[in-house]
A and B are shown apart, each in its own frame.
Chain A
Amino acid sequence: MASKLYQCMQKIGEDIIANKEFLTDLDSAIGDADHGINMARGFTEVLQQLPQEEEDISVILKKTGMVLLSKVGGASGPLYGTAYMKAAGAVAGKKEITLEDGRNMMEAVIGGIKMRGKAERGEKTMLDALEPAFEALNKGIEAGDSPEDCLAHMCEAAKEGVEYTKTIRATKGRASYLGERSIGHQDPGATSSLITLEAIRAFYLEQIK
């Protein structure tokens, strides 16, 4: 039987693939119109190549990262590839993920993306969704909120982060060539990060039903 984590990756992959057109449309406004196509190509390959029965979470995440590195093609390949490989490093050998593990994974992911992309929050990137999401998750954990609530806060914050990217100009990536004209459009990378977090939350809610 397919492991839980495989099923979770499957949910993430299917949601990314289902949003191929949407992400590409967002990217055609401010980038090179390939984010959705690239991410869908990457995750199609991920779903084909992942060992379905593997239960070691870090093995699944590392494999996901490696496949994204070689199949996505654009800047989101090395960025998401690094993100998944960093996440793998935070849960080495584990077969279950607690909220604390989730927090550690997100911390590692954000550190990896900052290092690789030389980016900070406020530059219209994935970080504008991921950093607020991480902070909200952290706050929820510290307040002793239930996992459902923590994940809800996390997704809410990521969503607000994506909205925020509409108000700022891009200084990283292809969108930075547009300068002021990038204002008014939401960032495709922040959006695919939000889709990922929402898929994780939806998967969790499905499990506890």
Chain B
Amino acid sequence: MVGLLIVSHSRKAAEGIFELAVQMAGKDHRIVAVGGMEDGSIGTDAIRICQGIKEANDGDGVVILADLGSGILSSQVAIDLLEEDIEVVIADAPILEGAVGAAVQAAIGGTLKEVAEAAEEAKQLSKLM
């Protein structure tokens, strides 16, 4: 199953989005959340994101949903730090809606590409139509 990694500057935001995504994905998910710094303060930590990628991966690759600014930069560094060969895609998507869409697609057995696309479709989502 494709893994999902939720990366936010805030531990609480990452955990909250994790909860929503897990609710859609069901019990057998590969979703991991890495939020904030080790001491709980606001920020992103490339080393812990790198560990998160390894945790989320079961061989089918990992899609990262990140929030703003250094969420993306630290995720890119984390990918460079991987010693093992894991396929990772950073989705160009809003973190919450993207995570929910991607969780559904991963749960039904989507490929890495399909899961990333499901996340990115969230950009087009109209909430009022």
Interface of A is mostly: helix
Chain B window 19-52, contacts with chain A (Cβ cutoff 8 Å), 1 for yes, 0 for no: 0000000000000000001100111111110000
Total interface residues in chain B, CB < 8 Å = 18
**Cross-chain contact A116 with B73 (CB below 8 angstroms):** yes
**Cross-chain contact A73 with B77 (CB below 8 angstroms):** no
Q: Which residues of B contact A81 (CB under 8 A)?
A: 46, 77
**Cross-chain contact B69 with A70 (CB below 8 angstroms):** no
* A38 at the B interface (CB under 8 A): yes
Give the interface size class of chain A: 10 to 19
* A199 at the B interface (CB under 8 A): no
Report the Cα distance A78→B78, complex, angstroms.
Answer: 9
**Cross-chain contact A69 with B74 (CB below 8 angstroms):** yes
Within 8 A of B (CB), among A127-158: none
With beta carbons under 8 angstroms apart, the residue of B38, B41, B46 that contacts A78 is B46
* A79 at the B interface (CB under 8 A): yes
**Complex: chain B residue closest to A82, CB-CB:** B77
Q: Which residues of B contact A74 (CB under 8 A)?
A: 43-44, 69-70
Q: List 29 A-B contacts (CB under 8 A).
A: A66-B47, A69-B45, A69-B47, A69-B74, A70-B38, A70-B46, A70-B47, A71-B37, A73-B37, A73-B41, A73-B42, A73-B43, A73-B44, A74-B69, A75-B73, A77-B43, A77-B44, A77-B74, A78-B70, A78-B73, A78-B74, A78-B76, A79-B73, A81-B46, A116-B73, A116-B76, A116-B77, A117-B73, A174-B69
List residues of A whose CB falls within 8 A of some B CB. Answer: 38, 66, 69-75, 77-79, 81-82, 116-117, 173-174
The 7 closest A-B CB pairs, nearest first, are: A73-B43, A78-B73, A70-B47, A69-B46, A75-B70, A78-B77, A70-B45
